[in-house]
Each structure stands twice: as structure tokens, then as C-alpha cells.
Structure 1
Amino acid sequence: MKMLGLDHVNVRTAKLAEMVRFYENVLGLRSGARPDFPFAGAWIYIAENPVIHLVEVAEECASIEPKIEHFALRATGLTELTERLTQADIRHSVDRVPGVPIVQVNLEDVDGNHIHIDFHSDEMAGRE
């Protein structure tokens, strides 16, 4: 057996419409086709791949110490993202990964899920 990669992340939310808007408007992803499950939800796509599956729940999920601390996406356009986050007044940090040519933009979605968006460190040129 050979693993080929991570397929998707499944996120339960009581704020489905807000979460879809966040992933579309803030991160520039798009919602798209989803199987006709017997529960509400949305699939959020990167290109042709539905990488974030949102599942609507009636009440916000209780979370004291999550076992999954974050999920990460890879992107280009560091300046565009940080400007978009600043304009939307979304708290974030830009952090270099020691010893690796990666810069992370750390932020939270509408439900407080930690996400980091990874960029090649070359995109930091002229920003420091």
C-alpha cells in the first residue's frame, strides 16, 4: 500500500453560511458540487479538489483541547492574502519556519479553527 496524499478535512459547524463565505471571500476558495447527503453541508474546492468538507450541526461543537490542532493549505500570493486579511480585520501572523524555506500565515476561521497557509519563503523578499 502507498499513501498518495491528504484528501480532505471534515469540519463540523453551526455557522455553515458564514464558514462558506469565509473560505470563499477571505481565502479565495470556492464551494462546489457535493453529494446529496441527508444532512446540510458544503464542499470547498481548490481547483477540482473538494479539500474542506463542511457539515452543518445544530449547536456549536464543544472543544476544550482539540486533537487536531490545525490544518494547512499551500498557496502563492502572500501579499495578496495578508492584505485581504488586514482589510477584513482578521487577526493573523506571518511566521518563518526555521531551517525550511516556508513562511506560514496563521489565522482562524469563523469557528476558531486554526489554519496556516504555507508560502515559499521567496515571497518574503522586500517585506522584511
Structure 2
Amino acid sequence: MAIADMNHFTVLSSDLERSKEFYINILGLKEGYRPPLAMPGAWLYAAGDQSILHIMAGRPMPVQAAGVIDHMAFTASDLQAVVDTLKQHNIDYELHRMKELEIWQLFCHDPDGAKVELDFSADEPEPRQ
């Protein structure tokens, strides 16, 4: 067996509409086809026909987290626009310039606490704070 690519992440949501607001209106993913499943949720896409993030709702949040995944990371662009949007929605973030990797790393959390990393080209100018 050889792994060829990452298929998708699934996040649990205590409020589907609030989670969709974050991932769609703040991070810029698009809602797309989702088969008719028993649980409410959404499948989100960046581009193309492969969903990259599934949101599952309609059941209580687990008391104990399953697994040990620390965060999910996305390649992104337009650092200033993302910073402006996060500020507009009062979403805290941390921004680090990783010169040796030639990227900016921005970390924030979704409405249910999942850590999200957005990676931007180091060529992007430092955003106005």
C-alpha cells in the first residue's frame, strides 16, 4: 500500500451553521455535494471535485477527544485579507514567519476549538496589525 494524497479531515461541530460560517465565510472554503447521510453536516471544498473538510453535527460533543491530531493545515493566499477578516470577526490568531521554510504560518481555532493552520508564501508582505 502507498498513500498518494490526503483525502479529507472531519471536524465535529456543536453548531453546524456556526462552523459553516467560519470555514466558508472566514476561511473561504465552498460548500458542495454531500451524499444524503443520517447525520447533519456539510462537505467543504477548496477547488475541484474533492471535498477536503467534512463537518459532522447532530450529536453531543465527546467528553473525551478521540485521537491525538493537533491541527489541520491549509495552503492559503492573501495574508492581509485573512488577517483583516479574522480581526473583523474577533477571532484570535498567532502569526509566525518561518524564514527557513519560506512561509508565514497563521494559527487560529474554529468555533469548537479545532486548531487551524494557514500557510502563506513568505513573499507575501507582513500584514498591517
Q: TM-score, normalised by structure 1?
A: 0.89
Q: Deviations over 1:36-59 (max 9, x none)?
A: 112211001101221000111321
Unaligned runs of 5+ in 1: none
Q: 1:126 to 1:111 in 2, by over 3 A?
A: closer
Alignment of 1:33-52 (within 5 A): 33-48=33-48, 49-52=50-53
Alignment of 1:69-108 (within 5 A): 69-97=70-98, 99-108=100-109
The 3-state SS of whatever aligns with 2:68 is coil
Q: 1:83 to 1:63 in 2, by over 3 A?
A: farther
Greater CA deviation, 3-12 or 59-68? 59-68
Q: CA deviation at 1:15?
A: 1.2
Q: Kindly, what percent of the aligned residue pairs are identical?
A: 30
Q: CA deviation at 1:102?
A: 1.2
Q: TM-score, normalised by structure 2?
A: 0.88
- Is structure 2 residue 119 aligned with structure 1 residue 121? no
Is the 8 Å Cα contact of residues 15 and 56 (structure 1) preserved in structure 2? yes
Q: 1:126 to 1:57 in 2, by over 3 A?
A: closer
Q: 1:103 to 1:33 in 2, by over 3 A?
A: same
Greater CA deviation, 117-126 or 58-67? 58-67
Q: 1:100 to 1:55 in 2, by over 3 A?
A: same
Structure 2: which amino acid aligns with 1:105? L
The 3-state SS of whatever aligns with 2:123 is helix
Q: Deviations over 1:73-95 (max 9, x none)?
A: 00111111011101111000111
RMSD: 2.1
Is the 8 Å Cα contact of residues 107 and 114 (structure 1) preserved in structure 2? yes
